[in-house]
């Protein structure tokens, strides 16, 4: 089972979707730690309710981005994780963390990348008047919402949608595709070839980790 660290900042509904699949026995991962930059993140309570160790690392406590990144990296390493899932983590992760977990950091974004990277993607989509919206799970690289795409799913966007209503529709899909992507990672089936992520058949020898 894959030892996983999950980074959150808020409600933690994506964290919950991972926990639920693990408890149902259909996701071969174990969350070793949930780390939040925000001490009042509701997701911390979700983790505690399921007996998962939590840590709060407020970014304000560190002098600069690099020190914060190193603190996050150490906390993840101390917990013995082999992969990291960003689940509504509203901070950039830096090169030190990425180097410690090469192609082992996943993010979920509430838009069909490369459309609407950054904050408030749902509001941006609704305001733009898109007819299709959705979500993306991707490997994290050094640019914001940019790394190789693992899986995407689309939902209709309606003329009457607000960021809120569209965001709720997107979130329901997030809860389906994030556990799927983490399961592929846990099964060793994801191979990064440039910008392309190949999902190898189950039972295939695991991709070599570099
Ligand atoms: C989710 O919609 C996630 O895709 C988004 O924040 C929400 C967190 O919800 N992430 C981003 O916007 C990252 N740029 P949750 O805390 O209930 O999982």
Does residue 208 surpass a pLDDT of 70? no
Mean pLDDT within 110-124 = 98
Does residue 58 surpass a pLDDT of 90? yes
Confirm whether 146 is a catalytic residue: no
The band of 209, judged by pLDDT with boundaries at 50, 70 and 90, is: low
Mean pLDDT within 170-177 = 98
C-beta of 186 in contact with ligand 1 (< 6 A): no
Out of 34, 108, 120, 164, mutate this one to test ligand 1's pocket (max ligand atoms within 8 Å of CB): namely 108
The band of 165, judged by pLDDT with boundaries at 50, 70 and 90, is: very high
Two structure tokens written together for 78: 């101390």
pLDDT given at position 3: 98
Torsion angle, CA of 94/60/122/125, rounded to 10 degrees? -70
pLDDT given at position 159: 96
Grouping H, G, I as helix, E, B as strand and the rest as coil, residue 191 is strand
Does residue 94 surpass a pLDDT of 80? yes
C-beta of 174 in contact with ligand 1 (< 6 A): yes
C-beta of 11 in contact with ligand 1 (< 6 A): yes
pLDDT given at position 203: 83
How many of the other CB atoms lie within 10 Å of CB of 5? 26
Mean pLDDT within 98-112 = 98
Does residue 210 surpass a pLDDT of 80? no
The band of 161, judged by pLDDT with boundaries at 50, 70 and 90, is: very high
- Closest C-alpha residue for ligand 1 atom 5: 88
Does residue 205 surpass a pLDDT of 80? no
Does residue 187 surpass a pLDDT of 90? yes
The band of 207, judged by pLDDT with boundaries at 50, 70 and 90, is: low
Complex ipTM > 0.95? yes
The band of 206, judged by pLDDT with boundaries at 50, 70 and 90, is: low
In Å, how far are 34, 68, 91, 97, 136 from 60, measured between CA atoms?
A: 18, 9, 12, 18, 29
The band of 68, judged by pLDDT with boundaries at 50, 70 and 90, is: very high
Ranges of beta strands (E only) in 9-130 are 29-36, 54-56, 83-86, 105-109
């Amino acid at each position: 089972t894959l030892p996983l660290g999950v980074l959150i900042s808020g409600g933690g509904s994506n964290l919950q979707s991972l926990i639920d699949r693990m408890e149902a026995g259909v996701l071969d991962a174990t969350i070793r730690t949930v780390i939040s930059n925000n001490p009042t993140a509701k997701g911390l309570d979700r983790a505690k309710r399921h007996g998962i160790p939590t840590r709060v690392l407020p970014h304000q406590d560190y002098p600069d981005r690099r020190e914060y990144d190193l603190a996050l990296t150490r906390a993840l390493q101390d917990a013995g994780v082999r992969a990291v899932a960003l689940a509504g983590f509203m901070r950039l992760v830096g090169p030190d963390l990425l180097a410690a977990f090469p192609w082992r950091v996943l993010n979920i974004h509430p838009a069909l990348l490369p459309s609407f990277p950054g904050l408030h993607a749902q509001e941006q989509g609704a305001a733009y008047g898109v007819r299709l919206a959705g979500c993306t799970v991707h490997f994290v690289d050094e640019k914001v919402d940019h790394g190789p795409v693992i899986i995407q799913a689309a939902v209709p966007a309606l003329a009457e949608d607000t960021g809120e209503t569209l965001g709720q529709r997107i979130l329901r899909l997030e809860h389906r595709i994030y556990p799927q992507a983490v399961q592929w990672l846990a099964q060793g089936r994801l191979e990064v070839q440039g910008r392309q992520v190949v999902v190898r058949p189950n039972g295939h020898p695991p991709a070599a980790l570099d």
